[in-house]
Amino acid sequence: MEVIDHQSVKGFVMVERVESIGYRARQARLIGKASKDLLNEVLAVLDASLC
């Protein structure tokens, strides 16, 4: 799912592939927050794929 309405973030959310991510091991950092609309869309796809 493409992230399209965020000014500083360009990329995709891989909803169909659920796995644990080691943030410290990958040295990840927060660069922004997703909109509620995007989160709801991601959760809907995740819910459908787990059922």
Q: How many helices (H) and strands (E) does the chain have?
A: 2, 2
- Largest CA-CA distance found in the chain, in angstroms, rounded: 33
Top-confidence residue, 9 or 36: 36
Task: Measure the CA–CA gap between 47 and 35, rounded to whole angstroms.
Answer: 18
The CA-to-CA distance between both ends of the chain, in Å, stands at 19
Q: Please name the residues in contact with 32: beta carbons below 8 A apart, sequence gap of 6 or more.
A: 6, 8, 9
What are the residue boundaries of the structural domains of the chain, listed by start?
Answer: 2-50
pLDDT of 6 strictly over 70: no
In the prediction, which pLDDT does 9 show?
77
Is pTM beyond 0.85? Reply is no
pLDDT tens profile 20-47: 778 888 888 888 888 898 899 989 998 9
* 45, amino acid identity: V
Top-confidence residue, 38 or 19: 38
In the prediction, which pLDDT does 44 show?
93
